[in-house]
Amino acid sequence: MKTSIICLPLVTLSLLLSSCSTTPVTGRKQMNLTSESEVAKMSIASFEQMKAQMSISTHAAYNEMLQNVGERISQQVFWDMPMAEWEFVVFDQPEINAFAMPGGKVGVFMGLFQIVETEDELASVVAHEIAHVTARHTHERISQGMVLNAGSSLIGIAAAVSGTAALGNGTYINAAPTIMGLYGIGAGQVAQSWDQGKEAEADHIGIMYMAKAGYDPNAAIRVMERMVELEGGMGGNNNYGSTHPSSMDRLNALHSYLEEAMAEYEQAKAFYY
Ligand SMILES: [Zn+2]
């Protein structure tokens, strides 16, 4: 009986530590610290803040293109994000960039249209960004970021958890800057960076989403080819290139997904055309 008394605090402590670790296995436990609805609420608050801080493009053609893409892609990911309140916004920013947030908020910067000309090409970028969300890359980062922001002490971790709990009561004033920080979103910049494994995953999921939505998967290849070209011309210093590394590797990988995606596209085409 004595050992059980001694063990209990140790077990509690180890549970706390394991749920706050950044290793892949306990990374899953972190997900339990932030519920789906709380992550969505925080993201929506961040998006509202972005809309207030950055000017929104009134370019009619690009806005129409994005709304069309948004409607078709969001239909395909319905079962992956059933609670999403979809919103697709063109921000009047010169950078070549786009992002998607949990809760269904998608932003495209005007600069992206330097490498995106057609609706199919835009669909490839939007589908890729949404895939980062449905693959829960964003959730993982938010959970990790909360713990990192709180510091490594147990007291700090407890504060991060209670901060999350407070969100459930509708308080997310402090959460928005945190999420924006995790996305690296400030006026004029979005500095997301994912490791190569996550990029590959988002590319694969993304090209399947676009194909299912009736968009030609070859468009994803064209956009990536322009990325490679741009990186060569700018010494790899452009924004999208630096935040989405190894475009040449990604281009090669995209080619390997093409056959599977084309089969899906041939079926979807009958529905859309
Ligand atoms: Zn990406």
With cut-offs at 50, 70 and 90, classify the pLDDT of residue 104: very high
Ligand 1 centroid from CA 131, angstroms: 8
Range of the domain at 63: 36-137+182-193
Residue 19 in domain: no
CA of 162 to the centre of ligand 1 (A): 31
Q: What is the pTM of this model?
A: 0.74
Residue 125 located in a structural domain: yes
Task: Give the C-alpha separation, 254 to 206, whole Å.
Answer: 10
Is 52 buried (19+), middle (13-18) or exposed (0-12) by CB count in 10 A?
Answer: exposed
* Dist. CA 18–CA 3, nearest whole Å: 22
**Highest averaged pLDDT of the listed ranges 2-6, 28-32, 173-177:** 2-6
Is 62 within the bounds of a domain?
A: yes
Task: Determine, yes or no, domain membership for 108.
Answer: yes
| Cα of 192 from ligand 1 centre, angstroms | 8
Per-residue model confidence as pLDDT tens digits over 180-210: 555 555 434 444 567 788 888 999 999 999 9
pLDDT at 139: 75
Bigger pLDDT: 96 or 183? 96
Angle at 108 between CA 103 and CA 112, to 5 degrees: 150
Res 41: pLDDT: 82
| C-alpha 246 to ligand 1 mean position (Å) | 11
CA distance 124 to 215: 8
Residues with CB under 5 A from ligand 1 (ion): 202, 244
105-116 residue pLDDT tens: 999 999 999 999
Instruction: Judge whether 146 lies within some domain.
Output: no
- Write down the pLDDT at residue 34: 57
Q: Ligand 1 centroid vs 248 CA: distance in angstroms?
A: 14
CA dihedral 92, 93, 94, 96 (to 10 degrees): -110
Report how far ligand 1's centroid is from the alpha carbon of 218 (Å): 18
pLDDT at 153: 33
Q: Cα–chain-centroid distance for residue 124?
A: 14
Residue 160 lies in a domain: no
State which H helix or E strand residue 210 sits in.
helix 196-212
The CATH number of the domain holding residue 98 is 3.30.2010.10
* Percent of the chain topping pLDDT 90: 38
Task: Write out the H or E segment, with its range, that includes residue 42.
Answer: helix 36-53
- In a domain? residue 215: no
Which residue type sits at 98?
A
Task: Please give the Cα distance from 93 to 61 (Å, whole number).
Answer: 16
49 has a pLDDT exceeding 50: yes
Residue 218 has pLDDT above 70, yes or no: yes
pLDDT at 73: 97
Structural domain count of the chain: 1
In angstroms and rounded to an integer, the radius of gyration of the C-alpha atoms of the chain is: 20
Least confident of 54-63, 184-193, 225-234: 184-193
Q: Which two tokens stand for residue 102?
A: 């949990």
Within-domain flag for 243: no
